[in-house]
């Protein structure tokens, strides 16, 4: 019966159209209004990965998804929605949702995410001559690290080499982070950096001169604060 009604409707439309009357009618097939990817810029350490999520509106649309990489294609490996960091570089991940119209034309909605891949290399502790000590605290998105760092890493880096990684300690009921930064010669500079894997975020705070001295004290910690790209959104 539905098929017969549609045929009769089309015949009536053709008859009216032949009389010079034009009109529009809506189909019952929705078209894509917008596609949003879960992240628009992320940082990944070599070896880490992310499974992207997407939201397509309206959610009743049936669409096919196509994922591509632009820029430094060798920096990442893309399998479906999963992206793995392979080597340092910067790439752009593009996702398209394609839906077929009733007239067989294709509607496309797209979104993208920049991916910054970096790598920290562990150093050989036997090569160095002296240490510079750092006492600090770390706050990420308004939350101070007081019990444990979890997967978060706070490190001192020289030319991509990790010279020290912060350890959580407590003294006189004061939680703090301590680093003993290894140096080869006076005057070297170490970049204090933080990586929060579950936020896909890397922070670069400051450079410290490795002079064999001490930065910060228990009563006056060096304070590092990071705010992720999506904080508060």
d(CA 202, CA 61) in angstroms, rounded, equals 36
What is the fold of 121-226?
Immunoglobulin-like (2.60.40)
Do 28-118 and 121-226 have matching folds? yes
CA separation, residue 18 to residues 6, 8, 116, 187 (Å):
18, 15, 60, 88
What are the extents of the domains in the chain? 28-118, 121-226
d(CA 48, CA 60) in angstroms, rounded, equals 33
Full DSSP string of 25-61: ---S-----EEEES-SEEEEETT-EEE--EEEESTT-
To which residue do tokens 């959104």 refer? 233
- Determine the pLDDT at residue 33: 63
d(CA 146, CA 175) in angstroms, rounded, equals 6
CA end-to-end span of the chain: 50
CATH class of 28-118: mainly beta
d(CA 109, CA 47) in angstroms, rounded, equals 30
pTM summary value:
0.80
Q: Which residues of the chain carry a pLDDT beneath 70?
A: 1-33, 233
- Determine the pLDDT at residue 104: 80
């Amino acid at each position: 019966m539905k098929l017969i009604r549609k045929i009769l409707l089309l015949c009536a439309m053709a008859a009216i159209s032949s009389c010079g009357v034009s009109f529009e009618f809506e189909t019952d097939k929705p078209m894509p209004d917008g596609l949003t990817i879960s992240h628009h810029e992320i940082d990944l350490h070599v070896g880490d990965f992310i499974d992207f999520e997407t939201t397509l509106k309206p959610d009743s649309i049936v669409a096919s998804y196509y994922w591509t990489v632009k820029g430094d294609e060798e920096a990442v490996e893309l399998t479906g929605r999963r992206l793995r960091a392979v080597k340092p570089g910067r790439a752009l991940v593009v996702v398209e949702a394609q839906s077929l119209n009733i007239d067989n034309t294709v509607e496309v909605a797209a979104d993208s995410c920049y991916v910054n891949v970096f790598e920290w290399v562990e150093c050989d502790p036997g090569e160095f001559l002296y240490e510079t000590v750092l006492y600090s605290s770390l706050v990420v998105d308004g939350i101070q690290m007081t019990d444990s760092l979890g997967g978060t890493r706070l490190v001192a880096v020289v030319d991509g080499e990790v010279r020290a990684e912060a350890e959580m300690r407590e003294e006189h009921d004061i939680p703090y982070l301590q680093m003993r930064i290894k140096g080869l010669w006076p005057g070297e500079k170490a970049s204090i950096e933080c990586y929060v894997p579950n936020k896909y975020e890397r922070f670069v705070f400051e450079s410290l001169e490795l002079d064999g001295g001490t930065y910060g004290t228990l009563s006056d910690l060096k304070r590092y604060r990071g705010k992720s790209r999506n904080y508060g959104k």
